[in-house]
Structure 1
Amino acid sequence: MRELVDTVTGTTQTVVLPCGSTRATVCKSCADKARRLRMQQCREGWHRDRDDDLEPGSTQHDEDEDNEDEDDDAEGSDRRVRSTRRRQDAPDLPRVEMAATTIGRILTSPNGRSYRPSMFLTLTLPSYGKVHDDGTPVDPSTYDYRRAALDAMHFSKLVDRFWQNLRRCAGYKVQYFSAVEAQRRLAPHLHAAVRGVIKRSVVLQVIRATYHQAWWPPFDTPIYLGHAVPLWDHRHQAYVCPWTGAPLRTWESALDDLDAQLEADPSTTPAHVVRFGKQADYKWLIADSTRTQRAVGYLTKYLTKSVADTYGDPDLLTVRQRAHLDRLNHETRWLPCGPECGNWLRYGIQPKNATEGLEPGTCRRAAHDPENLGYGGRRVLVSRQWTGKTLTEHRADRAEVVRQVLLEAGVELPDRDRMSATATGPDGQIRYEWRPVSFKDVDIRLWKHAILASVRERIRWRTQYEAAKRAGPPETPNPPTDPRGLPTTSTPVVSGMAVKGGRRPSRSDAKRP
């Protein structure tokens, strides 16, 4: 809710604005609207057949080389590049010549029909132990919760590496629309709509060969537990040991020690390695098919739910499900999510760019949010050249479709930018001033009146839109005719018989009167 002041007329009114939440538990209406917008974005770019926004001759790779593992914390001139080759337990990937295109190839069927299929992929994480049908561990004592939490934290980086490897092996700039959701066992997995098709054997090879290594200082055993945690010392401008008062190792010095160890012993392993699991789904889909429409709905089905909402209503969880959730939350709370995470203090290391106020177990990054269960990345991942449009432009396209339907029915909507913050008055100055409203200072009656007025307006627009769709475009006064001068119909004709619903006549049709 905002207060709108018209500087020209001097009037003030209270305006209700949508919250824009993507979570159904916060606002079901806004979450459903956001999901439908993503569905449109997915459909529009999936089977695109042109490269209007791709620069000619652009075949440059924008990813790092495969034989170099870079620190995730490195930026600019401080980037650390370790020239370690690919892991011996990961198969090598072929490298093909890149083509300046983002669309897939055209295939021709035996009957001469040409079509341009695309792919639907599902990628999962490995197993951490046997689970029941409801996703809970059969034996919680042997279930690898630590690895599950770390894999979830690094899942977004693993996905990025997969797209880099797939582009190198496909020979063109693969474009994708993907969504991250949780399986029943609460491990994240990826559904992806991919433009164009790549051989199944190549895709599976890329999945097996893709990995992400976290070259971090060791963090297997915490040093400081309970209330004995490092404290900030203003004299040293650093965190110090609670027992000796000595400053802790800095993040840079810890990485220097790791580099020295790696140089002395090339067999040194990274702190964590994340890979995909053996389960993977691969499908070919044709544009405008029923399977494609179902895949779009399936891909965006759970975008309105958080990762922790996989089990449904929190009040209806079983004892096993509650225990599984609590154990995952415990692991993600205390494990470090990145170089700047305050949990490094537990292991005697100052986080990168450490400042006063850090405390283990209180990191505010998304990976530690109980709703995300370790996954701190975005839920929707879209490549840059999927549609060539931003979400704002897609939202404007949807609004324009509604406006055109209403205009054909004789209904005119008010201008969307009639109260824009950039609108100017007769004097050339900004006309409207938007101010935040504190619910403590608003009369409850005025607040209810504004909400009811907004609801009535939306209901009126919805009613008018549904009526306009049922009415359809106005009838033409002179219907089109065929060469014989007879009115034509939209019903196709096969062998002199009208085909009902666009299908061929069957034997049962001949028996009908």
Structure 2
Amino acid sequence: MTAQVIPLTRGPLAADVIRSTAEQHGVCVRPFTMETTDPNTGAINYVGVPCGSTVESICLPCARKARSLRMTQCREGWHLAEEPVTAASEPTDEHRTLVERRADLVAEYRISAGADADDLREEIRSLDRELHQLGVRGRLPNPDGADKRAPVRSTKRRQDAPNLPRRRVEKRTVGREYAGGFRPSMFVTLTCDTYGPVRSDGSPVNPDRYDYRRAARDAVHFASLVDRWWQNLRRVVGWDVQYFATVEPQKRAAPHLHAAFRGTVSHEVLRQVTAATYLQVWWPAHNQPIYSGGHLPVWSPDAAGFIDPQSRQPLTAWADALDQVEVPAHVATFGPQVHSKGILGGTEEAGRHVGYLTKYLTKSTGEVVQADTHTQRDHHDRLHAELAVTPCSPRCAVWLLYGIQPQGITSKTTPGHCKGRAHRRTTLGLPGRRVLVSRKWSGKTLADHKADRSAFVTQTLAAVGIVKPIRDASALVWRKLAPGDRNAPPRDHLVMRAIAERVTWRAEYERALLAAQGPLGAPDVSATGQVAA
């Protein structure tokens, strides 16, 4: 007689319960800890700041909030009837302070050498990132001084590309209004060209004849090709077309674009613009690596650059390599398939397409394109192997494999190893920006849309007498705690505190909505359509 095995059931772990509760209430599950100090009283407090991840598998609440914000941005800009206001803001004291600090570092960098110069360059780059995060647009001066300009290339269209009519672009972004007050807009999908026949799962029918080199280079330069398409479309239609677009991978792992844009353009014009759009990449040739394996260039402090390990001669500088370029290293084009349709604002179809545009924003590329079969895994491996030797920018360390010194190299640069997204196995060359939004789309930044939500909730609470105290965060001194800092409270404590605050806020907000209900029992929602914090 066989004994019956009774499974041992154990209760859930406390950490899992906390995470599940946080996700239920929309609280970040992996906040990082900031220490705040009040300069007037000396009081020290520890605050959990949301991680801001856009991937559900990392932090579900933060990813859903980010997607919701993008949906609001897409919806508000798609069917505007009036021109958005896009006035540039004035520089702040913080902007000026950072630029002054940068100027001091650049002056110090130009008289330094060796490891000190490397550290100063990294500090300058950190300041540049901080300035861009504060809304500063455009390029900042190169710390190495005036770079040698790239040679002037001919702007004459290629012989194999169809000609396009060109009109003067009017200073308007709003589409035409038709009889009856209708103001439709467009939804369009663009894809990359074919690299060889593929099966239903996206894997090549004949991997040995599949053009992996062109697939890798098209993926690396896809965002620039998309920019060229919008430029051509504006010149053809004669007005400043504005767009909200997302880049996603197809089953074959090639990027394709879904875009909503304001106004209407005939399907035939969209096909003509797509067929005539191309991107010439005027980079040095990079077809066959010169260095590989254990035979790699080495850093020379005397030459302040990389040299050949045997001849000890410096590698070709980037500017000198550009001077020798006579033909483009690559020409990127779109595939012939163009899908487009007109959409009316305020309709169920418009809402469905907003959801479709943002459908995969909370998933990583690896989660969207999964390798479930042996042939799919082999396909991804071969594409990744090609991307590993495909330079992604003039600063890419992969250039050293081709005997060329990229821009911005230091002694810390590792030949052939670039941290760019294009070289990761999980991204397969997709551009770092999954969302591409034109500057005049809604006249607002994501921070502006977030502030609109906060203002709506504040007004809703104030209408029933609930006034929240305004905390001036700028009056505090903020410091991010390093991992393992003994002063930092456990993360679970921060999460539990945030859950308690969120439960209180939600109860107050629901009370305010009940108090604001109309005679039919429906909440009095503002024109923004936002009813949740």
TM-score by length of 2: 0.76
**CA offset at residue 19 of structure 1?**
0.9
Deviation at 1:327, TM superposition (A): 2.1
Are residues 99 and 242 of structure 1, via their aligned partners in 2, closer, same or farther at CA, if it must alter by over 3 Å? same
User: Structure 2 counterpart of 1:400, which letter?
Assistant: A
Partner of 2:421: 366
Displacement of 1:318: 3.1
* Residue number in structure 2 paired with 1:352: 407
One-letter amino acid of the structure 2 residue matched with residue 19 of structure 1? C
1:103 CA drift (Å): 0.8
CA contact (8 A) 2:78 2:261 kept: yes
Q: Which amino acid aligns with 2:44?
A: T
Deviations 1:410-455 (A, max 9, x none): 544443xx141x23xxxxxxxx222222442347875433321111
In the other structure, the counterpart of 1:139 is 206
Q: Separation in 2 of the partners of 1:303 and 1:408? A: 35
Q: Choose which of 13, 16, 22 in structure 1 pairs with 2:45.
A: 13
Whether 2:174 is the aligned partner of 1:103: answer yes
Counterpart of 2:494 in structure 1 is 450
| Equivalence for 1:293 | 351
Contact persistence 2:150–2:319 (CA under 8 A): no
Q: Deviations over 1:490-510 (max 9, x none)?
A: xxxxxxxxxxxxxxxxxxxxx
Q: For residues 49-94 of structure 1, what are the alpha-carbon distances to aligned partners after superposition, in whole Å with 9 as ceiling and x for unaligned?
A: 1125379xxxxxxxxxxxxxxxxxxx98714321252111110010
| 8 Å Cα contact 2:151-2:322 kept in structure 1 | no
Partners of 2:408 and 2:484 in 1: how far apart?
Answer: 39
- CA gap of 1:218–1:77, structure 2 versus 1, over 3 A, is closer
Instruction: Report whether the alignment pairs 1:153 with 2:220.
Output: yes
Instruction: Please identify, of 5-14 and 148-157, the stretch whose mean Cα deviation from structure 2 is larger.
Output: 5-14
**1:463 Cα shift?**
3.8
Q: Distance in 2 between matches of 1:162 and 1:126?
A: 14
Report the Cα offset of residue 397 of structure 1.
0.5
Q: 1:459-503: CA deviations, max 9, x gaps?
A: 232344345445643659xxxxxxxxxxxxxxxxxxxxxxxxxxx
> Separation in 1 of the partners of 2:243 and 2:493?
45
Q: Which residue of 2 aligns with 1:333?
A: 388
* Residue identity opposite 1:387 in structure 2: S
Q: Distance in 2 between matches of 1:242 and 1:357?
A: 17
User: Which of 36, 53, 61 is matched with 1:29 structurally?
Assistant: 61
Matched letter for residue 338 of structure 2: A
Aligned with residue 231 of structure 1, among 292, 298, 301: 298
Q: 8 Å contact 1:200–1:282 — kept in the other structure? A: yes
Are the counterparts in 2 of residues 409 and 473 from structure 1 also a CA contact under 8 Å? no
Residue 271 of structure 1 pairs with residue 342 of structure 2: no
1:207 aligned residue (256, 270, 274): 274
Superposition deviation, residue 162 in structure 1? 0.5
CA distance in 2, matches of 1:442, 1:354: 37
Q: How far did 1:299 drift?
A: 0.4
1:395 match: 450
Partner of 1:58: none
1:114 paired to 2:169: no
The answer to whether structure 1 residue 92 and structure 2 residue 136 are counterparts is no
Of 304, 310, 318 in structure 1, the residue corresponding to residue 368 of structure 2 is: 310
Letter in 1 for 2:344: I
* Deviation larger for 353-362 or 143-152: 353-362
> For the structure 1 residues 89 and 140, does the alpha-carbon distance in structure 2 shift closer, same or farther, using more than 3 Å as the test?
same
Q: Is the partner of 1:78 in helix, strand or coil?
A: coil
Asked if 1 retains the 8 angstrom alpha-carbon contact of 2:250 and 2:369, the reply is no
Gaps of 5+ in 1: 56-74, 263-268, 424-431, 477-513
Post-superposition offset of 1:298:
0.4
In 1, Cα distance between equivalents of 2:508 and 2:492: 24
Residue in 2 that maps onto 1:484 = none
Structure 1 match to 2:121: none
In the alignment, what sits opposite 2:480?
A: 436
Match of 1:382 in 2: 437
Residue 177 of structure 1 corresponds to: 244
SS in 2 for 1:122: strand
Give 1:301 shift.
Answer: 0.9
8 Å contact 2:277–2:334 — kept in the other structure? yes
Q: Return the structure number with greater relative CO, CA threshold 8 A, min gap 6.
A: 2
- Confirm or deny: 8 A CA contact 2:34 2:478 kept in the other structure: yes
Alpha-carbon distance in 1 for matches of 2:344, 2:464: 34
CA contact (8 A) 1:2 1:437 kept: yes
Alignment CA distance shift 1:236-1:8 (3 Å): closer
Alignment CA distance shift 1:82-1:438 (3 Å): closer
Q: Which residue of 2 aligns with 1:459?
A: 503
Alignment deviations for residues 347-369 of structure 1 (CA, whole Å, 9 cap, x no partner): 22222344333333311223223
Change (3 A) 1:377 1:88: farther
- Aligned-pair CA distance for 1:382: 1.0
2:229 to 131, 156, 162: 162
Q: Which amino acid aligns with 1:281?
A: H
Query: Deviation at 1:13?
Result: 2.4
| Alignment of structure 1 residues 59-98 onto 2, 5 Å | 78-98=149-169
Tell me whether 1:44 sits opposite 2:76 in the alignment: yes
Contact residue 387 and residue 422 of structure 2 kept, 8 A: yes
Q: Which moved more, 1:233-242 or 1:179-188?
A: 233-242
The residue type paired with residue 395 of structure 2 is: E
The amino acid of 2:403's aligned partner reads: G
Q: Distance in 1 between matches of 2:324 and 2:494?
A: 62
The CA distance in 2 between the partners of 1:248 and 1:181, in whole Å, is 37
For the residue of structure 1 that corresponds to 2:259, the secondary structure is strand
> Greater CA deviation, 355-364 or 93-102?
355-364
Q: Distance in 1 between matches of 2:374 and 2:268?
A: 42
Within 2, Cα distance between the matches of 1:468 and 1:201?
A: 51
Matches within 5 A, 1:230-249: 230-249=297-316
Cα–Cα, structure 1 residues 238 and 8, in superposed 2: closer, same or farther, change >3 Å? closer
**Contact 2:297–2:308 (Cα < 8 Å) also in 1:** yes
Within 1, Cα distance between the matches of 2:233 and 2:280?
A: 18
SS in structure 2 of the partner of residue 456 of structure 1: helix
Q: Distance in 1 between matches of 2:306 and 2:490?
A: 52
Residues 4 and 322 of structure 1: CA distance in aligned 2, closer, same or farther (over 3 Å):
same
Distance 1:435 1:254, change over 3 A: closer
For 2:55, the aligned partner's letter is R
Q: State the SS of the aligned residue for 1:191.
A: strand
Q: How many residues align?
A: 430
